Amino acid sequence: MRNRLTWLIASRLTVILILLGTAAIINLVSTAEIIVRIFIEATLVIAFLSIVYSLLIKFSLRHTLQAYIQIFLDIILVSYIVYQTFIIEKSFAALYLVIVLAASTVLPRLTVLLTSLLCVFSYASVIGLIYYKLLNQNLPDLSPEQSIPLYILAILVIGILGGQIAERLQISHIALTKATQNLANLQAFNERIIESIHSGLVTTDISGNIISFNRAAEEITQYRASQVINNSFSEVFGDQSDTINFGPELLTMSKPIRFNAICQSASGRQMHLGITASPLSDEDGKPNGLVFSFQDLTEIIKLEQEIRRRDRLAAMGKMAAGIAHEIRNPLAAMRGSIQVLRGELDLSEDQAQLMQIVLRESDRLDKIVSDFLAYARPSPSKLVEFDIANWIEETVSLIRYSNEWSNSHEIMVDRPQKPLIMLADSNQLRQIVWNLARNALQAMPEGGKLIIGLKETKNQEIELIFSDTGIGMSEEEMERIFEPFNSNRPGGTGLGMAIVYQIISDHSGQITVESEPQKGTKITITLPQNKNNLTSADILKQQKTFSTSGKITGKLDN
């Protein structure tokens, strides 16, 4: 009703222009100044009423009542015009027809019929005033040839037809409103479905330009929809021409295509995506694009790699632990025999040197076996509460006196001022810092900077971060970083990171590694504080189960 009233008020401007134009024409071709005066008066009244009606629409909500008032006042105004101009022109009674037509656009069928009857009554009243000369004795007599009955008949006919039009308009409006609402609900429902799906959904045209990008796709790729709409599919998901080529040949696609893709997110994170491409059809069923659904498989692939690594380590540990134990006893006997022979025999200088090499290598082999047994069969953890911040400072002081330290190296500890108390095995955690710091120094043979960061997270966890400026690691090296006997340095046993892995696993912690060749390495360790959260029974139980519990993850960002 508000929109219809607005349209009706706007149409009054047309009526004003018609009245002014008629007044100007009459003024030019005749001397009927009374008609010109009446038309100007009517124009001013209509303009004033239009302003009042516009204000009522803005500040009042009773629009139906306003429609009745507008129609009623229009009837009065037309009756005034017909009465005043009847002396010269009788045809202005046709303005009643305009009122009935206007009423049919805003009022129901029955009200339109009543409006036509009211117009007939008003017109008959005007004719009665003229016939009996009640208001003006100078009015001319009515002649039989005047078409008064024709106007009355026309008003009634227009009223009936207008009522039919009003009814049809109302039915059409209801149907259109219902269809529009259903369409809006269906569109909103489809949008909610698309936005609620946890899989990324992307649609493209035949040329590969992105048309839509749902919320899950934004979360996975970290691109905003506004950034990628109308951009090429390959700009976001990389070159996948080996699997799918955009172009007219896609119109013949009969079944979905499934493939895996390696690409980068907006932040540069490497992603492994499982993608399914299906044809997208228009209203006629003709393919006009593609719809891609995808999921982030990065964590799943990392988990699979972790499971494979654990399986390899478990099998290797069972076999090698038994071998190492069997090697250690004969090795001790061999070393003891060599020492006895060195003391009893008169050896030359070369023979003594060879004997010393045998003893030294025996000691090295014994250390390797001891380290491996410490890794394969760790001793029970002894949990104590201690300040990890001060403890790291002390360990770093010892590292500065190690063989790997040189004047070209710099170590900085970034720690909070307040103590960070945690419940853990201090000796085992000291070994973590010692091994990681030594590895970092060895990765910077020409010198560099090692930053050891320490902070407490919101989840009551301790986060320990090692960042160096060393030579970094390749993806292949990252894959095998926690495997025992995996070392690229001369004389290395390859057990350092494996022991770190095992200790963190025993403490229910997590370790993530980020590295890139020639750009350094960043290792992040997250350990639960467990401070004041465990009873004595819990601590005893945890000490018994530390060797089998824990979660370790590996991460490589290129």
Domain boundary residue, one of 121, 145, 177: 177
Same domain, 282 and 332: no
425 three-state secondary structure: coil
Distance, in Å, from the CA atom of 241 to the CA atom of 217, rounded to the nearest integer, reads 21
Closest CA to 155 of 97, 92, 99, 82: 97
Residues 440 and 410 in one domain: yes
Q: Which two tokens stand for residue 126?
A: 């005007």
Q: Are 549 and 556 in contact (CB under 8 A)?
A: no
Residue 371 has phi, psi (to 5 degrees) of -60, -40
In a domain, 191, yes or no: no
Tokens of 217: 């796709």
pLDDT digit string (tens) for the chain, length 558 residues: 777 777 777 777 777 667 666 666 665 665 556 666 777 777 788 778 778 877 888 777 787 888 888 888 888 888 887 887 765 555 677 778 888 887 877 778 788 888 888 888 888 888 888 777 776 666 666 654 456 777 778 777 877 887 777 778 778 878 888 888 888 888 887 777 777 777 888 888 888 888 888 888 888 888 988 888 888 888 888 888 777 777 777 666 767 888 888 888 888 888 888 888 888 877 777 777 888 888 888 888 877 777 777 777 667 666 666 677 667 777 777 778 877 877 777 778 888 888 888 888 888 777 777 766 666 655 667 788 888 888 888 888 888 877 788 889 999 999 888 888 888 888 888 888 988 998 899 899 888 999 999 998 888 889 999 999 999 988 888 878 887 767 666 656 667 888 888 888 888 888 889 888 888 999 999 998 875 544 434 433 443 333 333 333 333 232
pTM for this predicted structure: 0.41
CATH number of the domain within which 286 lies: 3.30.450.20
Looking at the fold, whether 318 and 291 belong to one and the same domain comes out as no
Q: Which residue range forms the structural domain that includes residue 37?
A: 2-177
| SS3 label, residue 284 | coil
Domain boundary among 264, 296, 328: 296
- Number of Cβ atoms within 10 Å of the Cβ of 70: 23
Instruction: Specify the amino acid at residue 375.
Output: Y
Q: Flag whether 186 is in a domain.
A: no
Asked if 166 and 208 sit in the same domain, the reply is no
Q: Does 437 share its domain with 536?
A: yes
- Are 395 and 508 in the same domain? yes
Instruction: Specify if 418 maps to a domain.
Output: yes
The reply to whether 305 and 291 lie within a common domain is no
Does a structural domain hold residue 112?
A: yes
172 plus 213 within the same structural domain: no
The span from the CA of 130 to the CA of 520, in Å, is 106
Same domain, 540 and 481: yes
What is the Cα–Cα distance from 512 to 10, expressed in whole angstroms? 70
Which of 381, 367, 283, 284 has the alpha carbon at shortest distance from 331?
A: 367
SS3 263: strand
Q: Can you name the residues that pair with 279 across neighbouring β-strands?
A: 290
Q: 417 with 517, same domain? A: yes
The domain that contains 361 carries what CATH number? 1.20.58
Buried b (16+ CB within 10 A) or exposed e, 145-163: eeebeebbebbbebbeebb
Please report, for the domain that includes residue 492, its CATH number: 3.30.565.10
Shared domain for 162 and 43, answered yes or no, is yes
Measured at the CA of 306, the angle between CA 302 and CA 311, to 5 degrees, comes to 150
Q: Are 251 and 353 within one domain?
A: no
